[in-house]
Structures are given as C-alpha cells and as structure tokens.
Amino acid sequence: MPVSPFGVQPRGLRLWWQAIRPRTLTIAVAPVLAGAALAYADRGAIDPLIALAVLLGALSIQAGTNLYNDAGDYLKGGDQPLRQGPARVTAMGWASPSQVKRAAFLCFLLAALTGMFLIFAGGWPILALGFASLLAGWAYSSGPRPIAYTPLGELFVIGFFGLGAVGGSYYLLAQSLTRPVLMAGLALGFIAAGVLMANNYRDLEPDRLAGRRTLAILAGPELSKILYALFIVLPFVLVIPPMGPPGGWLVLLLSPMAYKLLRDFLMLARGPAFNRILAATAAYQMGFACLLALGVLL
C-alpha cells in the first residue's frame, strides 16, 4: 500500500495537510513577512489585522494552487510513474479529483472573502491584484494551456509570489510603493522561481513524457543549472544598498547556505535527492525574508 511521510496512508486532516504541501507554504509567508517589515520600518507602525488578513489570503491562494495542481496533473496525465517528487493524494488514489478540486475551491473562496476585506483597505489596485492572483492560481494547472505545462512557470512565481506579494503587502500597510520594496519583491520572487526550477529540473524526463514544456525542458540541463544559480545569487544584489533597503546587508549571512544549494544542484544526480534541494531552497527563501525583515527593522 502506498504510504505518506506519516508512515501510513493519511486520512482526515492528515490527508489534506499533505495535499496542500505544507513545505511550500513558506513561499506565501516569506513575501508577506518582508512586505510587512518594510512597511513597519518606513511607517513606524502597521495595522496587525490587515497584516494577518494578507497572510491568510496568501496562504489560501498557495494552498488552493497546490490542490488544483494535484488534481490537474492527475487528470492531464502529468503524474507519471517516473516522477521523483513526494506522493500526490489524487495520483495515489487517496482522494478523488473532484474532492481535491472542491478543497481547492474552498481555499480560493477563503482567499476571495479575505480579499473583500482587504479591498476596503487598498482600493482598486488590491481588487485587481487579488482577482489576478485567484485567476492565476486556477490557470496554473487548469484551462486549455496550464501555466505549469509551459516555460512561464518561473515568470508566474516571480510576478505573483515576489513582486505582487511583497508589493501588495507593503501597499496595503503603507499605501505607497518604493524602489527598495520592488527590489525585495524581485529578490524573493527569484528564489521562489528557484524552488520551481529545482522541482522541474528533478522531473525533466517524466515531464517531457507527459507533454510538458517547462523552462527546465526548454533550457536543457546545463542552462537550467545556470538559471538556478541566477535565481539564488541575484537576490543578494537586489536587496543590498543602494538597490535595496537599509539593513539589506544582513542577508549576506545566508551566503554559506546559497553556496551549499548551488553545489548540490550542480553535483547531485537528478532524482529523489532533489526533494531535499527543493525543500532547502524554500527554507532559503524563508531565511532570506527573515534576515531582510530583521535588517530593515534594526
């Protein structure tokens, strides 16, 4: 019988906890943390209720996107037996596609309800960003041409989990935008793209068999390594003054972690080992956001 990281077939809340892929949820938390810290540093105070609502909305969209991706990949034949990633609940038969899609809809509904509250605080720019985020979350694995099956996935995460998330969080809390905020958004977006690149590089062969045309497939193994290196290293340049905010220097403490990620990506063979690289890249993004937040607040 197929098992999960819990050791047995998950049921109830454990099933849905695995389905939303909790290790990837930090991708939604990191940009909100950075945006809130930048707003506090610039304004001297922020509305905690708005900050919590932004975090809840970001988490709901990320969870909904993951769930739709779980069901969508199964229905489109994307979860091939050769796939090296963690078990997907639809492909393993632990939940039906309709059940997983309903769960995704509930997450998107929660995000929409949270967004209605945030629209009162941010006006039409937040309405536009929220609608675009919900649409993109659905389109990532659904529709006639899912984003996940094209070379645009990395651009998607840079835009929505970088610029949009950091910029939107800051705008809601500070009612403005600045260049350092946009640089921080790009930086965290690049690292999120690195997470996706690690995932797609690991699954080059099964994704090609499933008819995908991801950036990793289009670029090939060697160029994919270069792109991953850029996604990991460029964020340092973007957040260090004068490009980034005061205090951005603190992220340099992550240089040893960045070096280890690059070494492992270049040296390890594709396969299950890349699950650790993927998780470590997500942790790297969270650490980057925490150090950036600490740097601007000190």
pLDDT at residue number 155:
93
Q: How far apart are the first and last CA of the chain?
A: 52
What is residue 79's predicted lDDT score, i.e. its pLDDT?
Answer: 54
Q: Does pLDDT of 270 surpass 90?
A: no
Query: What is the pLDDT averaged over residues 232-253?
Result: 92
Taking only the tens place, the pLDDT of each residue in 58-83 is 999 889 888 888 887 777 665 555 55
Residue 249 has pLDDT above 80, yes or no: yes
Beta carbons within 8 Å of 190's beta carbon, 6+ residues apart = 158, 162, 230, 231, 232, 234, 235, 238
Residue 4: which pLDDT band, with cuts at 50, 70 and 90?
very low
Average pLDDT for the chain: 87
Cβ proximity of 214 and 149 under 8 Å: yes
Q: Is 118 helix (H, G, I), strand (E, B) or coil?
A: helix
Structure tokens at 106: 């509930």
pLDDT at 122: 81
Q: Where are the beta strands (DSSP E) in 96-230?
A: none
Closest by CA to 141, choosing from 68, 85, 91, 80, is 68
CA 139 to chain centroid: 15
Query: What is the rounded CA–CA span in Å between residue 38 and residue 297?
Result: 8
10 Å CB burial of residue 55 (0-12, 13-18, 19+) is middle
Residue 179, number of CB atoms within 10 A of its CB: 11
H or E element at residue 224: helix 215-239
Q: How far apart are the C-alpha atoms of 224 and 86, rounded to whole Å?
A: 22
Instruction: List Cβ neighbours of 201 (8 Å cut-off, separation of 6 or more).
Output: 216, 221, 224, 225, 228, 265, 270, 274
- Name the least confident of 10-24, 104-118, 130-144: 130-144
Burial of 159 (0-12, 13-18, 19+ CB in 10 A): buried
Residue scoring higher pLDDT (186 or 149): 186
What pLDDT score was predicted for residue 179?
93
Average pLDDT, stretch 264-273?
88
Q: Let me know the angle formed at the C-alpha of 264 by 254 and 162, rounded to the nearest 5 degrees.
A: 50
Q: How much is the pLDDT for 78? A: 54
Which residues touch 295 (CB under 8 Å, ≥6 apart)?
A: 245, 246, 247, 248, 249, 250, 251
Count of residues in the chain: 298
Tell which residue, 38, 39, 31, 22, has the closest CA to residue 57.
31
How many C-beta atoms lie closer than 10 Å to residue 15's C-beta? 19
